[in-house]
A and B are shown apart, each in its own frame.
Chain A
């Protein structure tokens, strides 16, 4: 799966990012092939989220480059809005707009950015909501939904514009196990549909399940990368082994 001959959808090339004195990413290189799922694992603060935020241009990289479909999106001449239009993001804290109902949350970008008519945007949104069992909640406001429902709405908001790549930043970190299941099953469906995804997660069992490619981040670099079976079954690096055994002790794998 990861050895597809076509050019990667998303490509990180020695990306460096610092916050003041602190080096968060220290030359991260990674290819994300089309129709594949890349999972970033690693301790908190290892740079997983920062890497995703850089890809969506929410952070400006210090050095290196990020390519989306062969275009250097970190070039200062690039129109950042046009890049973001091709990328879908789901945040850990959902980040739904509390002043808009579910339907408007999903259709806002469709109508204002992609210039889809309201009727068409709502039709699409309802179709997706229906598939996720949320059609009845279309007119509800985010604060009245459970965390799992909110996160599924956030997923719909991210995929409704058919982005080239979907970035999921610890989307289940704020949910209880029951709700985690309902959100992750949506992610599994998205994989079935062949969507290209990069996700940072602490759900190791899930990561092992869906990942075509697993990257272990530590000290600002990808210390180990391989297929799910390689990284979880036969980790080469001592740090990876220690990380995974800690995770196992915590009963999360």
Chain B
């Protein structure tokens, strides 16, 4: 009320400019008050949100209840429960399994970044243009073709046992290092293809624009193409990393003790499978934060660029 009268006098007092002026200061408008219509709409939207939340909760509970009764009501449930979900065995397995997880995490921490760098490199080589690079391109293509098709477990056995058999000077016999190398070789072939898909999805006009401001081919890739390409393939990369996390357990073929191997040892001494369930849940718990972080990261990137108005 007072604000309105103040601004009116502001306009009328100076009275300069052409007759019918006061244009410079713009139109004096009362402060905005939400209309009945807006309030009604918002109330309606709120009620819809509430309703869908109720429906979602109810249907989730119903499904959970059905599953619960079907499983616990089955004839073999008591025996199954004792064999797979025994709290006592779970507790005693926890410490060795967690100990084993350290190896899984170490392998992931070293192999993950190595794979991403190597994959990106192979993808960059595969997308090189020009006849000069033909040999390089062929090599990268052959690498991807071969190692993507070659079963990981056989590759692991070959490297973990084959490399020491060569009795080379100065080459490690450590099954963990060799197992890690096998993982890197196999996964970088997959990841290279993911990156290549991303690189090729960037519209050619972007390359044209980058080259036109004088960027070299390498600079174009580094500053224009790859940032867009990587953004697009983040979900696929997270997929591969989650898969890698689980496959780090395969180094047990060389005798390394990771979470799965530790659980196996427990199982072998008791014939109770609960430790394996514990290890399995551990992998799930490890994967979830990674996925959430990647989701958050990509959403944040999208928000920064979006125009608003999501259809």
Q: A interface vs B, CB < 8 Å?
A: 14, 16, 19, 23, 26-27, 53, 58-60, 62-65, 74-77, 98, 143, 218-219, 221, 223, 236-239
Contact assessment for A19 and B45 in the assembled complex, using a CB-CB cutoff below 8 Å: no
Contact assessment for A65 and B29 in the assembled complex, using a CB-CB cutoff below 8 Å: no
Residues of chain A lying within 8 A (CB to CB) of residue B29: 26-27, 221
Nearest CB of A to B236, in Å: 20
Contact assessment for A64 and B24 in the assembled complex, using a CB-CB cutoff below 8 Å: no
Total A-B contacts with CB atoms under 8 angstroms apart: 48
Give residues of chain B (13-62) contacting chain A, Cβ–Cβ below 8 Å: 17-18, 20-21, 23-24, 26-27, 29, 32, 34-35, 37-38, 41, 44-45, 48
A23 to B21, CA, bound (A): 24
Nearest CB of A to B116, in Å: 29
Residues of chain B lying within 8 A (CB to CB) of residue A64: 35, 37
A100 to B296, CA, bound (A): 32
State whether the Cβ of B311 lies closer than 8 Å to any Cβ in chain A.
Answer: yes
Residues of chain B lying within 8 A (CB to CB) of residue A239: 23-24, 26
Contact assessment for B311 and A58 in the assembled complex, using a CB-CB cutoff below 8 Å: yes
Residues of chain B lying within 8 A (CB to CB) of residue A63: 32, 34-35, 37-38
State whether the Cβ of B214 lies closer than 8 Å to any Cβ in chain A.
Answer: no
Residues of chain B lying within 8 A (CB to CB) of residue A27: 29
Contact assessment for A76 and B41 in the assembled complex, using a CB-CB cutoff below 8 Å: yes
A sample of 20 more A-B contacts (CB under 8 A), given A219-B27, A221-B29, A236-B20, is A14-B35, A16-B32, A23-B32, A26-B29, A26-B32, A58-B311, A59-B308, A60-B309, A63-B32, A63-B35, A76-B41, A76-B45, A77-B44, A98-B203, A143-B204, A143-B205, A223-B27, A238-B17, A239-B24, A239-B26
Contact assessment for B23 and A75 in the assembled complex, using a CB-CB cutoff below 8 Å: no
A60 to B311, CA, bound (A): 10
Contact assessment for B44 and A219 in the assembled complex, using a CB-CB cutoff below 8 Å: no
Contact assessment for A75 and B17 in the assembled complex, using a CB-CB cutoff below 8 Å: no
Residues of chain A lying within 8 A (CB to CB) of residue B44: 76-77
Partner of A238 from the list B24, B48, B309 (CB cut-off 8 Å) is: B24
For residue A23, which residue of chain B has the nearest CB? B32
A116 to B24, CA, bound (A): 54
Q: List 13 A-B contacts (CB under 8 A).
A: A16-B32, A58-B309, A59-B309, A62-B38, A63-B32, A63-B37, A63-B38, A64-B37, A143-B204, A143-B205, A221-B29, A237-B23, A238-B24
Give residues of chain B (175-201) contacting chain A, Cβ–Cβ below 8 Å: none
A110 to B141, CA, bound (A): 42
A129 to B27, CA, bound (A): 46
A63 to B34, CA, bound (A): 7
For residue A54, which residue of chain B has the nearest CB? B309
Residues of chain B lying within 8 A (CB to CB) of residue A218: 26
Residues of chain A lying within 8 A (CB to CB) of residue B203: 98
